[in-house]
Structure formats: structure tokens, C-alpha cells
Amino acid sequence: MSQINTEFDEIISIELENDELVSLVTSNADVASQYVIFQNSQDEYFAINVAKVEELIEYKTIDVTATTESDNTMMGTAKIREHFVNIICFDTWLNIQRKDKSEYELVILCDYAGVRLAIVVKSVYRVINIEPSEMYDDADKDKRISYLCEILIENKKILCKVFDSDQFLSDVMPSKFTREIQKSETIKPDSGKHITKEIFLAEDSVLIQTAMMKLMDKMELNYRTFKNGKELLDALSKKDVDDVALIITDLEMPIMGGLELLEICSKDSKYSQIPIVVNTNMANHSIINTAQKLGAKEILQKLDLLTLQEAILKNAKC
């Protein structure tokens, strides 16, 4: 178990016993495969990437100004660390009736590429490592779940769901997505740079992939989409790499994630000359540094379509 996992377990056991703030500092998590495992009110297990988590806070310690619609997923607003943060009930997002406040122990304070949200959950188990190869893509069955995996709890294998954080953000803050899509409608294909080569895109979120495809259609680009890094790499091995203008990749994907894709490309002279742009919502400083060391030209926040357009025009080979 890594140092961050051990420290986290100690904090959980000690701080909860003392009925105090539970704090998890993850700004320096330098791997993309660590996940906070938590439970909803029905004792189902879910996972969120550590790189998206700022803190764990006892729910009873925060003062929430409730919304007028008490059954809404958006429970209200609270001031946390000098910032006003929207409070989200994870149960309600899953279409589970919200329980009494006493049923929820913790709030997971998250940062999705600058969008700060607090997710109310029943409890947190621990931080564990889940490799992309251990994940099963389940998005076709449930749009809220990106993939499934098995975790070991008290020597018993338990099914855990890695929820789709992009879909979550779209559902609870739809205005953000609407604004970015509207921005993309202003894009014109005539940019002064005519890109004839093909762009390869690895993105497992249908929501984000659709938005990026609309952008590239507006730019009149040739592109291919893939659900993970392995699919992209397999297609790349059958392609004349001189015909590939650019690779755009997410980091958190099943089977093969973006960092592994970057590492393979950086070490293979056949692929190392293809420019790679990372498009992610989990880029803290350490992960950004890791991606840059592996050759990423730029690391962008998801759904910033105008910035993505600029990155394509700047880095793509004609």
C-alpha cells in the first residue's frame, strides 16, 4: 500500500473516533489509478479518483443553506474553506430517496477542473489502487456508471462502481455544459491552417466524446474515436503514423489509461513524433508534471472547447 493510502487509513480511524474533521490532502497524488471508495445509503460501493478529491469532511460539521426544493439533488450551499460550495446528495443523483441527515456521515469535497462540489455520502471505506486493466466498461448499461471493478473487503470480493463524473457534473450543473456547447457553435472551419491528416481521440465518456466530435465536425477535421488507450494504440499500430496529425487522450479510462498510452508512445520511436494533447478533469500539479515528462504537449480541462480548438490548431501536424 502506498504512503498516501496508509496516511488516509490512519486519518479515517483516528479522526472519526474523535468526532473531528476528516481531511484528505490529495493535491500531490501522482498516479491516475488511486480511488476513494465510498458507500451510498444502500451500502453499495462506489469509487471516485483521488485526483478529484480535496477533502473529506464530517457532514454534521457543515452548515448547509437548503434549496427550496428539498428533494432536489442539489441540497443547498455551504461555505467550506472560505469558498461557497454546492452540496450534492449522491443518493438523489442515483434516483434513491434521500434519507434523514443522520444517515450520512461524510461530505467528499471535489474539484472537477476548477468546479468545486461537495458530495454527501453515507461513509468512506478507504483509498485503494485500481488499475485500468481491472475495470470493465459498463457505460452501455447505465450512463451514470463508467465501469465496474472488484475490490477486496474483509477477504470478500465486492462489486464496486466507478461513477461517471462527467455525467454527474452535467446532471448537477447543466449550465456549464450548455455554455461550452454554445461556444462551440461559434467556431468556423476556416482557421488558416488546413489539417488533412487524421486525429485520434481516446475518451470513454460518451458525453465528452460527443461534445468533442461536434467541435471537430465544425472544424471539418478527419478523426477517429476510441473508448480507451488500448483501442487507440491497436488502431495506431495498423496505421501509417505519418498520416496521424494528433492524439487527444483522457487520463482516466478502462483497459488502458492516458498515462500508460503516453508512456508507450514516448518510448517507441515510431510513435514519439506524434503530438499528444491530454484532455482531463483530474489534472493536479503532480499528474500534469508526469504527463509533461511523458511528452504531452498540453494538458487541458475537459469541455473547454475553444481552448481545445486552439490546442488542435497549434499542435496538429498538417
Structure confidence at residue 261 as a pLDDT band (50, 70, 90): very high
Highest mean pLDDT among 31-40, 70-79, 111-120, 151-160 belongs to 151-160
Q: Examine the pLDDT at 181 and tell me if it is beyond 80.
A: no
Range of the domain at 58: 3-174
Residue 219 lies in a domain: yes
In this prediction the pTM is 0.85
CATH, residue 104: 2.40.50.180
The answer, yes or no, to whether residue 265 has pLDDT greater than 70, is yes
For every residue of the chain, which 3-state class applies, written as one string? CCHHHHHHHHHHHHHHHCCCCCCCCCCCCCCCCEEEEEECCCCCEEEEEHHHEEEEEEHHHCCCEECCCCCCCEEEEEEECCEEEEEEEHHHHCCCCCCCHHHCCEEEEEEECCEEEEEEECEEEEEEECCHHHCEECCCCCCCEEEEEEEEECCEEEEEEEECHHHHHHHHCHHHHHHHHHHHCCCCCCCCCCCCCEEEEECCCHHHHHHHHHHHHHCCCEEEEECCHHHHHHHHHCCCHHHEEEEEECCCCCCCCHHHHHHHHHHCCCCCCCCEEEEECCCCHHHHHHHHHCCCCEEEECCCHHHHHHHHHHHCCC
Q: Taking 50 as the threshold, does the pLDDT of residue 165 lie above it?
A: yes
Q: How confident is residue 21, by pLDDT bands cut at 50, 70 and 90?
A: very low
Which of these ranges, 12-16, 39-43, 279-283, has the smallest mean pLDDT?
A: 12-16
Q: Do 196 and 165 lie in a common domain?
A: no
32 and 152 housed in the same domain: yes
Of 110-119, 125-134, 165-174, the one with minimum mean pLDDT is 110-119
Report pLDDT digits (tens) over 132-143.
Answer: 999 987 666 788
Specify whether 169 is located in the same domain as 194: no
Residues 43 and 142 reside in one and the same domain: yes
- pLDDT band at 192, cuts 50/70/90? low
CATH of the domain at 256: 3.40.50.2300
Please tell me whether residues 208 and 310 are part of one structural domain.
yes
- The pLDDT assigned to 187 comes to 76
Confidence of residue 113 (pLDDT cuts 50, 70, 90): low
* pLDDT band per the 50, 70, 90 thresholds, residue 27: very low
Task: Give per-residue pLDDT as tens, 214-251.
Answer: 899 999 999 999 999 999 999 999 999 999 999 999 99
